[in-house]
Structure 1
Amino acid sequence: MVRLPLTPEEVERGQRLGALLRRARGTRSMLGTALDAGVSPETLRKIESGRVATPAFPTIAAIADVLGLSLDAVWSEINQSDGVVALARSGHNSGERLAS
C-alpha cells in the first residue's frame, strides 16, 4: 500500500496533537502512560514528537482516556488553526468529512 505524503496542515495538526499529549501527560512516565493506554511506548513517543501525524482514532481515544482528556478537547486543540473549525461554521453540509 502506498501512503500519500502528508500535507503541511496534517503535519501541523500532528505537531499540535503531540504537544497536547505531552502537556497532558505532565510528569507521568511515557512507559506507564503507553502501557495504560495499550500502545507501545515507541508509538506514544512518535505521536508526541509529531512523527506520526495521523494516528489511528482508537489509539488517540485510548491515550486521551488515560490522560483524562475528552475527545472534544483533543479535536478542538488540534484543529484550532487549520481552517477545519472555520469550515464547520461556514454552513457546509454537516455530512461532509472535514478532516482525515
Structure 2
Amino acid sequence: MREQLELLRELADLQHVTLQVLPFSTGTHASMGTSFTILRLHSNGKRTVYVEDLTSADHLGRPHHLDTYTRVYDRLRMAALGLNESQSVLTQVIDELGTGR
C-alpha cells in the first residue's frame, strides 16, 4: 500500500493531475458503492459517463445522466480536502506505514 500511495503522491505533482482526498470523516456521500468516470473527447467535446461494477460496465450519454454524475462529482470535490491538505494526508499515511504504526 505504501508504494501505491507514493505513486499517487508523485502523480499529484504532475501539472495535469488534480488529486483530492475524501476522508472517511466526511461520512456517506452520493457516490457510495459506485465508481464512475466522466469522459470528454477533445476532438468534438462530446461527453459520456463510464460506470463499472462487479458484473457489468456501461457508457451513459443522455443529458440527465451527464447532469446527475457531474453534480455528484462537483459535490465530491467540494467535500474533499484541498490540494495541500490532500498531499499532507498522503505524506502522513506514507510515513505511518513506514514506521509500522
| TM-score, scaled to structure 2 | 0.29
Higher helix proportion: 1
| TM-score, scaled to structure 1 | 0.29
Larger Rg: 2
Higher strand proportion: 2
